[in-house]
Chain A
Amino acid sequence: MEIMLTINNQKRRLLIDPDEFLLDTLRKAGIKSVKRGCDTTSCGMCSISVDNKLVNSCSYYTIRAIGKEILTVEGIPEEAGLIADFITAEGAEQCGFCSPGLVMAIHTMKNDLDDFSLESIKHYLAGNFCRCSGYEGQHRAILKYLEVK
């Protein structure tokens, strides 16, 4: 079926299957920052924002996103670049596969939380896994980033 989606502030006309998930739709549309990790809503690699809410695109039906604002890392280049600078400054980045999802989670977190204690940040980001470099470096980077943002 043919649908219209708003992806990173651009209207896109796309052909989809009725039960397609956003992860597949976005990748077919050339949005390659969105990664498939576990494909079971556990790892957070595919995290994006839909109407300012963090969701796992692997399990979000594309038809539900019609009329909503879809945002991926490609839509926030400056913010993503700044977050990346802080993360690389801590040496926290290795393969980078989880980074787009983490950046989107940090993006929605800034709106969703009023208390940026390490504990509430950890709770918010618990659904975004990193398996090649650990978490301490990321947490240090995020705390520093939140101070300047």
Chain B
Amino acid sequence: MNFKEIVQPSSLEEAYEYLANHQKAVIIGGGVFLKLQKREAELGIDLSRLPLSYLKEDEKEHHIGSMTTLREIEISSILPQCMVESVRQIGGVGLRNMVTIGGSVCGKYPFSDINTALLSLGARLVFFKKGEISMERFLGENYVLNDILTSIVVPKVEYSTCRYFKHTYTDFSLVNLSVASGENVRIAVGARPGRSVVVPDINTGHTSEELLARIEFKDDIRGSGAYRRHIAEVMLTEILEEGLLWK
């Protein structure tokens, strides 16, 4: 993406003002995925001068600023395991030092590893104007943005883990899966190759085949839907056999 002009607002109000008053304004998070898109934009709104890069926690939840990089998530010692694991093979360290969690969420990338982890955790998104919306609803709907994601709220859980299958280290995932158990138990699957979804109506008696029966997997250039389903089943079986999900 090429920008005629890039502004670096020093407050969220100012950033939102630019967004509201320019039809062709684009928010820049890490800017790394935007760079790959062949488009022209009048105005880029660079969020990097705002205090949106942080990891905070209270008793029940983590609060992650939208400009927090995936590298900061990778080296965090407090975030849920599935989040930390999910980012470890997203490009190299240089890429992870630049790409943001906010850009990852707002891009709604179907191949996303981190979004599958966030879904399994029951994360909530906090937008500057529109307030809170669940990650599940945000990914499921064609929610028109025109707002600034300020933070992501992640409930603390007792146990979580994720799995992904890549042809080579740091490649895009062929399929990924994340589970978390706290107040609820949630299983999410992504790179199907469609966007990440939560597995519905789960219970302790189900095998991994039964759990994933209603999830849609499709063919694309990387692999067939049947292959993806099989890998997802194997990954989930491995997790179920560890015996930590349903305690």
Contact = CB atoms under 8 A, between A and B. Distances in A.
B92 A44 contact: yes
Given A41-B98, A59-B98, A18 B93 contact: no
Contacts of A126: 89, 92-93, 169-170
A105 interface: yes
Interface string A58-86: 01110110000000000000000000000
Closest 4 pairs between A and B when the two form their complex, measured CB to CB: A127-B92, A19-B3, A56-B94, A54-B94
Given A18-B5, A40-B36, A54 B88 contact: no
Given A41-B94, A42-B91, A59-B35, 8 more contacts: A18-B6, A19-B6, A41-B98, A42-B95, A47-B94, A55-B97, A124-B93, A127-B91
Interface string A106-149: 00110010000000000111111000000000000000000000
A61 B6 contact: yes
Interface of B: 2-6, 8, 28, 31-32, 35-36, 44, 46, 48, 71, 88-89, 91-95, 97-98, 169-170
A78 B88 CA distance: 32
Contact of B6 (A60, A63, A124, A127): A63
A63 B5 contact: no
20 contacts: A18-B5, A19-B6, A40-B35, A40-B36, A41-B95, A47-B94, A53-B97, A54-B93, A54-B97, A55-B94, A55-B97, A55-B98, A56-B98, A59-B32, A64-B46, A105-B93, A126-B89, A126-B169, A126-B170, A127-B94
